[in-house]
């Protein structure tokens, strides 16, 4: 997710902050015998803010809480209203991404659950084919219905 805010805008200086926070699942690559081999997946987090002053890129880096002020790249922001706005920006974007991430995870888990229950049904049908009684769920050979 990407969001841009304007910290300051008067007729001499416009300070804009563009913050990007993304979580991606990427291939984990291992280099062996001159080949790149995919050995699994790993989470990659993009966490970067770009500072523009009057449209010109000045610096970029993480939004770092320095205890009372905020650092991005080689700029420190000490004006209280800027500090507050930067914390809010970081919090809003990150919590949105976490929420989305949770939703995706829940969806995946639901899919796995569905697939597993399908397998359980298939297993059951196979057992029935092989003589399992649907009434008592044992291999009773029909005894449970004659008693």
User: Contact residues for Zn ion (CB under 5 A)?
Assistant: 133, 135-136, 140, 144
How far is the C-alpha of 124 from the C-alpha of 32, rounded, in Å? Answer: 45
Taking the least distance from each CB to Zn ion, the nearer of 56 and 146 is: 146
In the complex, what is the shortest distance from the CB of residue 99 to Zn ion, in angstroms, rounded to a whole number?
50
Of 4, 2, 146, nearest to 85 (Cα)? 4
In the complex, what is the shortest distance from the CB of residue 135 to Zn ion, in angstroms, rounded to a whole number?
5
**Bridge partner list, 4:** 18
Three-state secondary-structure class, residue 6: strand
* Residue 46: alpha-carbon gap to chain centroid: 11
In the complex, what is the shortest distance from the CB of residue 1 to Zn ion, in angstroms, rounded to a whole number?
57
In the complex, what is the shortest distance from the CB of residue 124 to Zn ion, in angstroms, rounded to a whole number?
14
Taking the least distance from each CB to Zn ion, the nearer of 75 and 133 is: 133
How far is the C-alpha of 58 from the C-alpha of 133, rounded, in Å? Answer: 75
Taking the least distance from each CB to Zn ion, the nearer of 29 and 144 is: 144
How far is the C-alpha of 43 from the C-alpha of 143, rounded, in Å? Answer: 56
Taking the least distance from each CB to Zn ion, the nearer of 53 and 133 is: 133
């Amino acid at each position: 997710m990407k969001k841009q805010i304007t910290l300051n805008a008067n007729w001499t200086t416009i300070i804009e902050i563009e913050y990007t926070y993304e979580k991606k699942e990427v291939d984990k690559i291992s280099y062996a015998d001159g080949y790149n081999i995919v050995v699994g997946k790993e989470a990659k987090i993009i966490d970067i803010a770009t500072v523009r002053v009057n449209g010109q890129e000045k610096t970029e880096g993480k939004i770092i809480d320095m205890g009372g002020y905020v650092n991005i790249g080689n700029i420190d922001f000490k004006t209280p209203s800027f500090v507050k706005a930067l914390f809010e920006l970081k919090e809003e974007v990150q919590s949105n991404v976490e929420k989305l991430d949770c939703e995706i995870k829940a969806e995946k888990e639901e899919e796995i659950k569905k697939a597993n229950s399908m397998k359980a049904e298939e297993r059951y049908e196979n057992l029935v084919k092989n003589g399992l009684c649907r009434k008592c769920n044992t291999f009773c050979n029909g005894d449970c219905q004659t008693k």
